[in-house]
Structure 1
């Protein structure tokens, strides 16, 4: 009787995993027995095996060894995504109770505990998490480099929300998960908005599909930037995103559509409706070398329709048209030793460019090369050294506005609406983690722009930017940061065009909370 009662307790945990029952293999458990269903189900799942003579001997007392075998087999069988909270708690108690016996059987109890904990976390419905960043900023100039621009001026002093994000997710079943994010991203956003909402569907052949409004970041996955310095990816689209995992890499495809509206990051250019397609093949040849090929293509529904820039365009509000275009790149990573990597990327664009604009390069290129060394290898600091170069007009709808420190300083690599410059970048970033509480960091950037005699302009346009910051982790979820940023514009001919680009400095105190 004790043996059958223990069996029924385990049956209660795994019964939901398979609704159909196989025939009872034990001769001493008749069909009219009260435990018949439990015995049949657990025998079909391989959790109980009985004796060589075909009996189960349910009236015999069960040893702790036999019970531990049931627990181990149940853990290997149970589908915790469909279990109730009570089921998960019961299974966890069984793991704790029979820890020694499971240990003696060679079962990794620590791994079982971890599995139960992870699976239990998804039970019962929704999960919520998020972050809050609040900034106090003091700039030296009220209308200088740290001002927001032509439409929303920040002034010398600003206390405002930098970011609020609330994530939520629900594991719908073993193949479908829903994720969403509501938030406010900067001082310009006066209200909350749904920034992401998508379902992730597990498909056959080790692949998955995201449907809805999702974010993707191929450059981040390749380790091609730090902080918020992506050039093209780390963007959010509405559409379909599919990835197939391979033994040594992955293949990704997506298709998205944007309705008639201003482009992300451009508050003054109407791009019209367009489709955006993307493809990426990423391959790890071994643990030392990785290579990937990626492409983005923009297909405008009304390409060739004349539009115009606003009055602040350095070109002078010229009419223009947008044609279909593509951006393609190859990136790689070479790991010389743990913590020491050389990586880079080469980008090519193909477009006709805006009509009526002279000296336009319709196939500009860009590239970057990076040395990335961890603090574990150097002991006292991490080190990131990067060299990058942009051809003139290397940008149409997707510009590297956020590259190289836009979190603090804007207009480092794209000081004009149309990038008519050949731009060279030398960028370095260091970080020192002194303890679990204290972190310091430094950033330096030199950005040299050559107009290449565009519209009769001569001379260079150079920018120097450096940053020093200190972070203090008050708790694992609360961080305070004090940063000083300085930008020096060697304006040259630009002085008479844009007076906001002048030498400036900024002190920022940030409170960052994770929850």
Structure 2
């Protein structure tokens, strides 16, 4: 068989061979490496031959995904759709991902993304308005096994530590693109990550305690971002870590005023079994002196009990409780606890007030077989303001994996914000039926 592989390398037509054929040939070379050595065949030459064939294809690996949504909502309170219509079709997501192994320790990753949420411009045609390279970076290795990343990528340590549910779109803090530098070093069970980046800043509204209808300020500007994450995992059961974010404004209002935002998080997790984990995170902030009508040191925390389907057999279970001071500035301050819907249960959080929002959620997923799965969610929010009603949300969905590349999802989502809230807040209730088609390639 090793001889057959060697002859195949000589006979293959690089101009006509498909990328799949070349990758299969390379796998065969690795599989029969010892036998090829025993036959006196120079494996390094074979590896070089395969590399040459790959280079003729550019050495690139291309993949991507496409999501298309058809939304049907009720006729009243059509805040589910930005254009107010009860029916809406749009491309939710399209991306092309490019990967290239430049040399042994250096690689390139780039993703061109288009769709509804890319630039916050809505649902127009695929064009520059909603298209961007949302991730493009080089990874390489420095001396002393230090990993270096340069470019643009997503900072999301909550996701790295499994601290929000798979059908939630955002963490309490984080999940933002960074343009800059990252270094990471591991010492046995301890890992340290440091980031220096520049990002667009906090955009938000902040309200007057004495007059809830009065919007005080909209903040814009640019920030330098410095991040340090320290993670200790002594065994498979326990993890403990801390993250610091120092965001220093240096343009626009963030430069003219003291609108710096420093955020510190402490997180931990313990697995009672491989399928049952208790975990959580606690944040506290140090806000600049010029933030109007805000608590100087707001806090936020959440606790999660994560039970995998292996433990309960018929379903998984995600139990989450969180408290967020309304003056806490999360980068996704009004999109926490959603799953990509517009809007979410956190949208009515009165950001900027000296009160605390309490949220709890129960989520469950069921994998019935390779084709079919379902998910359920119930969430409730208490905004801690007499003039603002509590909100409730429940979701039920079913997924069908038609082929390895093509999937369909049917979801019913209902949210009730209560009645008679101030005009800039959502009021009433509504539902949406979403049919999503996803193609991965």
- 1:112-123 equivalences under 5 Å are none
Return closer, same or farther for 1:131/1:459 CA change in 2, 3 Å cut-off: same
Deviation at 1:71, TM superposition (A): 6.6
CA RMSD of aligned residues (A): 3.3
Aligned partner of 1:379 in structure 2 is 313
Aligned partner of 1:174 in structure 2 is 104
Aligned partner of 2:27 in structure 1 is none
Return closer, same or farther for 1:136/1:304 CA change in 2, 3 Å cut-off: closer
Aligned partner of 1:249 in structure 2 is 190
Superposition TM-score, scaled by structure 2 size: 0.80
Deviation at 1:208, TM superposition (A): 1.3
Deviation at 1:161, TM superposition (A): 0.2
CA deviation profile, 1:97-124 (whole Å, cap 9, x unmatched) = xxxxxxxxxxxxxxxxxxxxxxx89985
After the TM superposition, which of the residue ranges 215-224 and 295-304 deviates more from structure 2?
Answer: 295-304
Deviation at 1:205, TM superposition (A): 2.2
Partner secondary structure for residue 230 of structure 2 = strand
Aligned partner of 2:298 in structure 1 is 364
- 1:473-492 equivalences under 5 Å are 473-491=401-419
Aligned partner of 1:339 in structure 2 is 275
User: Are residue 220 (structure 1) and residue 220 (structure 2) matched?
Assistant: no
Aligned partner of 1:504 in structure 2 is 430
Aligned partner of 1:129 in structure 2 is 63
Deviation at 1:155, TM superposition (A): 2.1
Deviation at 1:271, TM superposition (A): 2.0
Whole-angstrom distance in 2 between the partners of 1:137 and 1:65 = 54
Return closer, same or farther for 1:265/1:239 CA change in 2, 3 Å cut-off: farther
Deviation at 1:405, TM superposition (A): 1.5
Deviation at 1:283, TM superposition (A): 0.6
Return closer, same or farther for 1:121/1:393 CA change in 2, 3 Å cut-off: farther
CA deviation profile, 1:190-227 (whole Å, cap 9, x unmatched) = 42322221111122222211111112321111010023
Aligned partner of 2:227 in structure 1 is 278
Aligned partner of 1:299 in structure 2 is 248
User: Are residue 447 (structure 1) and residue 388 (structure 2) matched?
Assistant: no
Deviation at 1:475, TM superposition (A): 0.5
Whole-angstrom distance in 2 between the partners of 1:122 and 1:253 = 38
Whole-angstrom distance in 2 between the partners of 1:277 and 1:160 = 37
Structure 1 gap segments, 5+ residues each: 1-5, 14-63, 89-119, 308-320, 452-457
CA deviation profile, 1:461-485 (whole Å, cap 9, x unmatched) = 3000000001110001111000000
Return closer, same or farther for 1:445/1:258 CA change in 2, 3 Å cut-off: same
Whole-angstrom distance in 1 between the partners of 2:365 and 2:40 = 46
Whole-angstrom distance in 2 between the partners of 1:305 and 1:169 = 36
Partner secondary structure for residue 490 of structure 1 = coil
**Residues 182 and 194 in structure 2, CA contact (< 8 A), matched pair in contact too:** yes
**Larger strand share, 1 or 2:** 2
1:140 pairs, out of 74, 78, 83, with 74
User: Are residue 415 (structure 1) and residue 348 (structure 2) matched?
Assistant: yes
Aligned partner of 2:48 in structure 1 is 83
Whole-angstrom distance in 2 between the partners of 1:157 and 1:335 = 44
Return closer, same or farther for 1:365/1:189 CA change in 2, 3 Å cut-off: farther
**Residues 262 and 269 in structure 1, CA contact (< 8 A), matched pair in contact too:** no
Whole-angstrom distance in 2 between the partners of 1:235 and 1:265 = 19
- 1:427-446 equivalences under 5 Å are 427-446=361-380
User: Are residue 401 (structure 1) and residue 327 (structure 2) matched?
Assistant: no
Aligned partner of 2:146 in structure 1 is 207
**Residues 85 and 124 in structure 1, CA contact (< 8 A), matched pair in contact too:** no
CA deviation profile, 1:367-390 (whole Å, cap 9, x unmatched) = 100000111111000000000001
Return closer, same or farther for 1:72/1:441 CA change in 2, 3 Å cut-off: farther
Deviation at 1:234, TM superposition (A): 2.5
Return closer, same or farther for 1:401/1:429 CA change in 2, 3 Å cut-off: same
**Residues 145 and 502 in structure 1, CA contact (< 8 A), matched pair in contact too:** no
Whole-angstrom distance in 1 between the partners of 2:55 and 2:162 = 30
**Residues 270 and 277 in structure 2, CA contact (< 8 A), matched pair in contact too:** yes
CA deviation profile, 1:133-192 (whole Å, cap 9, x unmatched) = 1000011146434133xxxx2521101100001100111111211111112131446423
Return closer, same or farther for 1:141/1:400 CA change in 2, 3 Å cut-off: farther
Which entry has the higher C-alpha Rg, 1 or 2? 1
Aligned partner of 2:13 in structure 1 is none
Return closer, same or farther for 1:67/1:240 CA change in 2, 3 Å cut-off: closer
Whole-angstrom distance in 2 between the partners of 1:254 and 1:338 = 31
